[in-house]
């Protein structure tokens, strides 16, 4: 018996000693990992589409909503939805009650960097992939274009930001903010490099329409130089876009934002959206901005101040829908839900009529492409560029092209009144498209405009809907030209990332 016991102990010890390491190796079940992705050309292509996808992530809140900030942080529009607790932080932005924990500022920061990180991965990994040489160049160029676009968004909203150009991990040292100049230099470098490998719009196959083009890269280069007031560099690229002949103003103004005219004649770059029964590949913007009485959420409502500025302008009816307006047969007298609307108006540009609305989940599925850059924008920038370069006749030519489309008489002012005319034209042509706030800040006019807007609302307005609005009370000149760096990011950097002035 004793012997048996000893044998057993030996056997048992062997069992203990038996290295069961295999037992601890569990294979991955049901997903791919990024380490060994980019193993085929198709995977590379998908990663590039993943970069485009990041411009409008699947839900409404990550980035779609922020496109309205360019309107609501200016004289053009209000928060809109007057229910205080409904997106309170969006109201805080619109009323310049801005703190570093504002969620919308945080979303913009986080999801713009998501574009950057996806592009960085493509730029890092695609060159070593088994893709064709041509496609490698093309994929990398598209990623650089999108990365530059993302940094442009960041520099417009936050000033100098941390520049990340490669894949990084959480344990890496904190990346501090670069200066605005450094960010712009990176944008220029990426766009310049991208433009060399990108095709012209006319060279794109039908299924490629919507992807980055040489024209788009040059247009953004022109804009990047405009933001830095480097007028001569800017003109190289605005000239290039115009001379290319790729774009025109042949679409009627009312069709520019039509859901039935995606990537139209004047389209330089837009986010692609469509309605699909299965996939959430649409945008939220039409629902976010529509009247609450019409199934919308009622945000970003145009001001009477903007309407007054557009008085007599043929673009007005394509820009603003006012309480009681005839819109279409289904909406003969439009209800803007006055009890929950700060201004009795809504944005026409994002409006979809009944037949164009998705049957469900509109806030994830609306099929309206979101135009980020169109030819009229480029022409008006060109007008501004050439004005600053002392070429007023060229400037007038560009300006009047825009006016002619909507049958307005040509402008022939000169000197400072020409510049004012160009600014005014930008205001009217691009109203409610998310540009106004940035145009005001880059030209140093934000304070003056907000003060006049405040004075109008408080003292001069007789508008039945928005007279007396106190927007602007909390505006702080010299501070609100930029948004705060999100408090969370500063904390995560252990305070090595510095806050913007005044926050």
- Rule CB under 8 A: which of 297-356 touch other proteins? none
Task: Specify the residue, 96 or 389, whose C-beta has the smaller distance to other proteins.
Answer: 96
Q: Copy the structure tokens of residue 143.
A: 């990623």
- Does residue 173 belong to the site contacting other proteins (CB under 8 A)? no
Q: Which residues of 98-125 are buried (b: 16+ CB within 10 A; e: fewer)?
A: bebebbbbbbbbebbbbbbbbbbbbbeb
The partner residues of 321 in beta bridges, in order of sequence, read 346
Q: Does 47 sit near other proteins (CB under 8 A)?
A: yes
- The nearer residue to other proteins, 30 or 312, going by C-beta atoms, is 30
- For residue 496, the 8-state DSSP code is -
Q: Please report which helix (H) or strand (E) contains residue 77, including its range.
A: strand 77-78
If we measure between CA atoms, which residue out of 437, 459, 346 comes closest to residue 75? 437
31: contact with other proteins by CB under 8 A: yes
Which residue stretch of 26-34, 238-246, 248-256, 457-465 sits at the interface with other proteins (rule: CB under 8 A)? 26-34
Which two tokens mark 302?
A: 């145009």
Q: How far is the CB of 494 from other proteins (least distance, A)?
A: 5
Q: 373 to 432, contacts with other proteins by CB under 8 A?
A: none
According to CB under 8 A, which one of 200, 209, 252, 474 is a site residue for other proteins? 209
Q: Among residues 66, 98, 108, 99, which one has the least CA distance to residue 472?
A: 98
Strands 345-347 and 320-322: antiparallel
User: Is residue 229 a contact point for other proteins (CB under 8 A)?
Assistant: no
Of these, 39, 40, 46, 232, which contacts other proteins (CB under 8 A)? Answer: 46
Residue 402 and residue 378 in contact, taking contact as beta carbons nearer than 8 Å? no
Which position among 133, 171, 311, 409 is part of the footprint of other proteins (CB under 8 A)? 171
> Among 127, 262, 314, 414, which residue interacts with other proteins (rule: CB under 8 A)?
262
Contacts from 324-333 at CB under 8 Å and sequence distance 24+? Answer: 327/351, 327/353, 328/353, 328/354, 330/354, 331/294
Write down the least CB distance from residue 137 to other proteins, Å.
19
Of the candidate residues 261, 263, 265, 451, the single one contacting other proteins (CB under 8 A): 263
Least distance (Å) from other proteins to the CB of residue 194?
A: 18
Residue with Cβ nearer other proteins (34 or 404): 34
The residue within the footprint of other proteins, chosen from 14, 29, 243, 416 (CB under 8 A), is: 29
Give residues 102-121 in contact with other proteins (rule: CB under 8 A).
106, 109-111, 113-118, 120-121
Is residue 90 near other proteins by the rule CB under 8 A? no
Smallest distance from other proteins to CB 261, Å: 12
Question: Closer CB to other proteins, residue 295 or residue 332?
Answer: 295
One DSSP character per residue, 274-328 reads: ---SSS--SBSHHHHHS-GGGTS---SEEPHHHHHHTTT-TTGGGTEEETT---B
SS3 173: coil
Measured between alpha carbons, how far is 252 from 10 in angstroms, rounded to an integer? 91
Q: Given the DSSP bridges, would you call strands 301-302 and 345-347 parallel, antiparallel or unpaired?
A: unpaired
- Does 43 bind other proteins (CB under 8 A)? Our answer is yes
Provide, rounded to whole angstroms, the least separation between the CB of residue 423 and other proteins. Answer: 34
Count the residues of the shown chain that bind other proteins, applying the rule CB under 8 A. Answer: 89
Residue 26 found at the interface with other proteins (CB under 8 A): yes
Q: Which of 127, 135, 137, 164 binds other proteins (CB under 8 A)?
A: 164
Note whether 49 binds other proteins by CB under 8 A.
Answer: yes
Burial class (CB in 10 A: 0-12, 13-18, 19+), 236: middle
Q: Does 30 bind other proteins (CB under 8 A)?
A: yes
Q: Which residue has 């007057």 as its token pair?
A: 82
Q: Is 203 in the site for other proteins (CB under 8 A)?
A: no
**Torsion on CA atoms 82, 85, 91, 96, rounded to nearest 10:** 120
Residue 14 in contact with other proteins, rule: CB under 8 A = no
User: With respect to other proteins, which residue has the nearer C-beta, 115 or 235?
Assistant: 115
Report residue 302: phi and psi, to 5°: -65, 150
Stretch that binds other proteins, among 6-14, 407-415, 421-429, 449-457 (CB under 8 A): 6-14
């Amino acid at each position: 018996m004793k012997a048996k016991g000893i044998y057993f102990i030996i056997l048992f010890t062997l069992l203990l000693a038996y290295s069961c390491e295999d037992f601890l190796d569990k294979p991955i079940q049901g997903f791919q990992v990024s380490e060994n992705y980019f193993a085929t050309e198709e995977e590379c292509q998908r990663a590039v589409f993943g970069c485009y996808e990041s411009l409008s992530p699947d839900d409404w809140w990550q980035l779609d909503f922020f496109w309205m900030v360019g309107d609501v942080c200016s004289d053009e529009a209000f928060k809109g939805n007057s229910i205080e607790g409904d997106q309170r932080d969006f109201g805080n932005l619109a009323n310049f009650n801005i703190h570093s924990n504002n969620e919308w500022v945080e979303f913009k920061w986080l999801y713009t960097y998501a574009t950057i990180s996806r592009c960085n991965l493509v730029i890092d990994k695609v060159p070593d992939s088994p893709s064709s040489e041509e496609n490698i160049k093309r994929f990398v160029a598209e990623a650089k274009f999108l990365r530059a676009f993302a940094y442009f968004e960041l520099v417009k909203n936050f000033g100098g930001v941390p520049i990340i150009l490669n894949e990084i991990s959480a344990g890496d040292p904190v990346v501090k903010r670069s200066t605005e100049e450094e960010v712009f230099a990176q944008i220029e470098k990426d766009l310049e490099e991208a433009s060399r490998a990108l095709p012209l719009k006319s060279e794109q196959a039908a299924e490629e329409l919507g992807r980055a083009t040489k024209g788009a890269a040059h247009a953004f280069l022109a804009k990047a130089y405009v933001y830095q007031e480097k007028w001569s560099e800017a003109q190289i690229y605005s000239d290039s876009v115009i001379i290319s002949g790729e774009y025109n103003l042949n679409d009627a103004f009312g069709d520019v934002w039509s859901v039935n005219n995606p990537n139209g004649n004047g389209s330089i770059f837009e986010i692609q959206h469509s309605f699909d029964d299965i996939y959430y590949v649409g945008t939220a913007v039409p629902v976010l901005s529509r009247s609450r009485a019409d199934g919308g959420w009622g945000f970003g409502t145009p001001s009477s101040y903007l309407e007054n500025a557009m008085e007599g302008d043929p673009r007005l009816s394509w820009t603003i829908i006012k309480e009681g307006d005839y819109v279409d047969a289904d909406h003969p007298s439009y209800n803007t839900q006055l009890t929950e609307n700060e201004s009795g108006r809504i944005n026409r540009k994002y409006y979809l009529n009944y037949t164009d609305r998705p049957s469900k989940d509109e806030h994830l599925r609306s099929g309206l492409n979101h135009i980020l850059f169109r030819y009229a924008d480029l022409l008006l920038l060109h007008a501004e560029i050439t004005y600053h370069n002392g070429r007023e006749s060229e400037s007038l030519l560009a300006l009047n092209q825009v006016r002619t489309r909507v049958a307005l008489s040509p402008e022939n002012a000169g000197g400072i009144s020409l510049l004012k005319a160009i600014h005014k034209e930008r205001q009217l042509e691009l109203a409610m498209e998310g540009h106004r706030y940035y145009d005001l800040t880059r030209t140093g006019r934000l304070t003056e405009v907000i003060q006049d807007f405040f004075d109008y609302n408080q003292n001069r307005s007789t508008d039945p809907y928005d007279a007396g609005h106190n927007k602007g009370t909390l505006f702080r000149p010299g501070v609100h030209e930029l948004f705060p760096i999100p408090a969370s990011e500063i904390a995560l950097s252990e305070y090595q990332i510095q806050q913007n002035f005044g926050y």
